[in-house]
Amino acid sequence: MYLREVHAETDINRLQDFVKDNPLGILTTAIKSTTYPLIQASHIPFILEVSDRHEATANGNEGSDTGLIYGVLRGHIAKQNPQAKALMDALAATQNEHHDPQIKELPEEVLVLFNGPAHHYVTPKFYVETKPATGKVVPTWNYSAVQAYGKIRVYCDSKSDETSSFLQRQLEDLSQHAETSIMGHTGGDRPSPWAVSDAPVSYVNLLKKNIIGIEICIHRLEGKFKMNQDKGNGDREGVIQGFKDLKSDVGDNIARTVKERGDLKDLKDKRA
């Protein structure tokens, strides 16, 4: 992604929180195959695991050569998905090449894109300072996104205890995260969360045979908040008010984010 300094977010904790808050990622792969397209993408909800062993620095743009890991993404894909089939074929070829059936990781780097909850067109009419003064304004689009890069491990042997355990943990963790963090099902005054154990074991085991597990160690994490930080305070206030006047959830979200990112930029400028 094109990262102008004014729009770039390099705080690893903020980027990780963004992924946790917006877990539906777009897994993009470029795997050479005579059967399936080279470039494929699928929308997949992910769990981001961050622990003490996942080191982080203030610079999220370092490559895998540094040995740093910014977290591990875990997800699953239906076996009938052509992207899953390409991953399984690539894994089998890698295992055969190295004569090692225990290999799980593919050599190709993959990308997972996470988009923010709101994006919107920005009319030049919102720039209440510059438009009347010079007219030198054009439309743009406000959005936020994080890109995670890393090597992918594939768990697809339905007869393997390792695959079964990975998928069980993945399904339980993903359900728990979605039920509590997204749905707010935390018990007490709120509804209790649904759990995988609420479904029959035989049913869950049947479903597990029809999916594959994926795990991505993140070696590069990049984020962008394009929210009018490059504008002056007057134009920024015009954008905030303009989006508030839309009287919509998206408008309110954008207005709030424009203010937050503008305040962060102003604070950074004062410290510089």
Name the residue among 45, 27, 7, 4 with its Cα closest to residue 224.
Answer: 7
Domain ranges in the chain are: 8-118+143-158+209-228
Would the pTM of this model clear 0.75, i.e. be above it? Answer: yes
For residue range 214-243, list pLDDT tens digits in order.
999 999 999 999 999 999 999 999 999 999
- Per-residue pLDDT for 66 more than 90? no
- Average pLDDT over all residues of the chain: 93
> In which band, very low, low, confident or very high, does the pLDDT at 63 lie, cut at 50, 70 and 90?
very low
Contacts of 111 (CB under 8 A, 6+ apart): 27, 28, 29, 147, 148, 149
CB atoms within 10 A of CB 134: 9
- Per-residue pLDDT for 60 more than 70? no
Selected from 2.30.110.10, 3.40.1030.10, 1.10.3720.10, 2.60.120.10, the CATH number assigned to the domain covering 8-118+143-158+209-228 reads 2.30.110.10
- Per-residue pLDDT for 20 more than 90? yes
- Per-residue pLDDT for 91 more than 90? yes
